Amino acid sequence: MSILSNRAKGLKPSPTLAINAKAKAMQAQGIRVVSFGAGEPDFDTPENIKRAAIKSIEEGFTKYTAVGGIDELKDAVIHKFQRDNQLTYKRSQILISCGGKHSFYNLAQALFDRGDEVIIPAPYWVSYPPMVALAEAKPVIIETKEENGFKVTPEELKKAITPRTKALVLNSPSNPTGSAYTKKELEKIAEIAISHKFFVISDEIYEKIVYDGFEFRSIASLGEEIKGRTIIVHGVAKTYAMTGWRIGYAAGPEEIISAMSNIQSQSTSNPTSISQKASVEALIGPQEEVKKMLSAFTERRNYIVDRLNEISGVSCFKPIGAFYVFPNFSEYYGKSYQGKKISNSTELADYFLNVARVAVVPGVEFGADPFERLSYATSMKDIREGIDRIEDALKKLS
Ligand code: PLP
């Protein structure tokens, strides 16, 4: 009998976290690495949020809470959905978890059985297929096209549907491409979900990071019928620079939320009490800091997209949201450095790290090998230097 379960044996660690760890290890040896790896804002958590956490410690709010989150935070989430999305939920339709990733994990465990098919458009966030597979369901990948803004078309979606289709995963704005669906596009998807009776998992964690006045819409807000088939996965990490606080939330039909809560009660129990109090302040307190961060992201996005597109043989889609670019480097595949050929996104990412001292995440991890993902949630100085280094490294290939 082998020591490890088949489930554990087949599982790789998250590649984004692995690359960050590698970059950090190099930095610890005194090597200056420019990291485009991390999927986290470089800003500090806003002061008012930190103060709310400190106050909760001082007041002794340091014990177990209700498994699914404190009512005060559920009410703040309900307030957020009403204020920002005109969506009405009851407390029984909200679950607070230890990050958006945990929300998705609970949901996959609550919703999927062996043999269920879950449609995931690629490029996708790295963790969706493994979390679906951990629930013994089958990820069904649809490759979207760059010329369609990396969005799944109704025709592509219909082709992937079978009687076993249980859900579609939508991530708008998207990690890694920065694409985002318009209301019209969402309406078409909603129609298909309703007529084929599958669920939509709508990961809206980048809702607040959208550019050029793009109007974010939640698919759940398009009518009662689609709302009844949608589970929103969300969190405070990206909007409020709170990645380390580990608070995510889900909203959806009571039966599903209640099953997710049972799974949470037998695994992690409640998310951190202190972080819950901080998240109340994040969601209902002043929102000025969010605007400031967005304005910095906008400047960085404009700069990095222009710089990448100026490099010969590189093309880069201009993101509508989130804080990643996903440039196509495939023109360089087949070229060599010191006799060593670079054939794919993993080898190119290794080359960038080892030769240029720049950390990026290979596109293959997101289901799209021609690309690399660069997070621009880092300083303008690092972005300038990192792109200079990438440009120089590409020139060395022949
Ligand atoms: N969803 C997407 C698309 C993400 O990019 C991330 C983080 O990288 C998450 C969910 C999870 O975020 P967290 O678990 O930190 O709340």
Model confidence over 84-102: pLDDT tens digits? Answer: 999 999 999 999 999 999 9
Q: Which two tokens stand for residue 330?
A: 């495939």
**On the CB side of 300, how many CA atoms lie within 13 Å of its CA?**
29
**Atom of ligand 1 lying closest to residue 171 CA:** 3
Taking a C-beta distance cutoff of 8 angstroms, is the pair 271, 97 a contact?
yes
| Residue 14 per-residue DSSP state | P
Q: What is the mean pLDDT of residues 347-357?
A: 95
Query: How much distance in Å is there from the Cα of 395 to the middle of ligand 1?
Result: 34
pLDDT at 221 (0 to 100): 98
**Atom of ligand 1 lying closest to residue 104 CA:** 10
Q: Which residue has the tokens 């759940």?
A: 220
Tell me which of 103, 105, 175, 245 to substitute to probe ligand 1's pocket, judged by most ligand atoms within 8 Å of the beta carbon.
Answer: 175
State how far the alpha carbon of 87 is from the alpha carbons of 83, 112, 227, 293, in Å: 8, 26, 9, 25
pLDDT at 10 (0 to 100): 85
Atom 8 of ligand 1: nearest residue by CA position: 39
Going by DSSP bridges, is the β-strand pair 324-325/372-375 parallel, antiparallel, or unpaired? antiparallel
Phi, psi of 171 (to 5 degrees): -135, 100
**Ligand 1, pocket residues at CB < 6 Å:** 39, 99-101, 125, 171, 175, 203, 205, 235, 237, 243, 248
Q: Which two tokens stand for residue 355?
A: 């030769």
Q: Which residue type occupies 360? A: V
Residue by residue, DSSP assigns 86-144 as -----GGGEEEESSHHHHHHHHHHHH--TT-EEEEEES--TTHHHHHHHTT-EEEEEE-
- For the chain, domains (ranges, CATH) are 6-44+289-395 (3.90.1150.10), 63-284 (3.40.640.10)
Q: Among residues 262, 334, 325, 300, which one has the least CA distance to residue 123? A: 325
pLDDT at 16 (0 to 100): 77
Query: How much distance in Å is there from the Cα of 110 to the middle of ligand 1?
Result: 19
Question: How far apart (Å, rounded) are the C-alpha atoms in residues 98 and 245?
Answer: 8
Give the tens place of pLDDT for each residue, 262-284. Answer: 999 999 999 999 999 999 999 99
Q: Which two tokens stand for residue 37?
A: 């790896």
Q: What is the mean pLDDT of residues 62-80?
A: 98
Mean pLDDT of the residues in the chain? 97
Give the tens place of pLDDT for each residue, 311-349. Answer: 999 999 999 999 999 999 999 999 999 999 999 999 999
Query: How much distance in Å is there from the Cα of 330 to the middle of ligand 1?
Result: 27
Whether the ω angle into residue 173 lies within 30 degrees of 0, i.e. cis, is: yes
Q: Among residues 132, 134, 144, which one has the least CA distance to residue 174? A: 144
Q: What is the CA radius of gyration of the chain?
A: 21
Question: How far apart (Å, rounded) are the C-alpha atoms in residues 147 and 179?
Answer: 11
Give the tens place of pLDDT for each residue, 4-18. Answer: 998 999 888 887 777
Tell me which of 97, 127, 376 to substitute to probe ligand 1's pocket, judged by most ligand atoms within 8 Å of the beta carbon.
Answer: 127
Which residues, at least 6 apart from 370, have a Cβ–Cβ distance to it below 8 Å? 328, 329, 330, 333, 345, 363
Give the tens place of pLDDT for each residue, 186-245. Answer: 999 999 999 999 999 999 999 999 999 999 999 999 999 999 999 999 999 999 999 999
- Evaluate if pTM is beyond 0.75: yes
| Residue 120 per-residue DSSP state | E
**Distance, C-alpha 216 to centroid of its chain:** 16
Bridge partners, 337 (sequence order): 340
Question: How far apart (Å, rounded) are the C-alpha atoms in residues 6 and 273?
Answer: 35
Q: Which residue type occupies 108? A: A
Atom 12 of ligand 1: nearest residue by CA position: 100
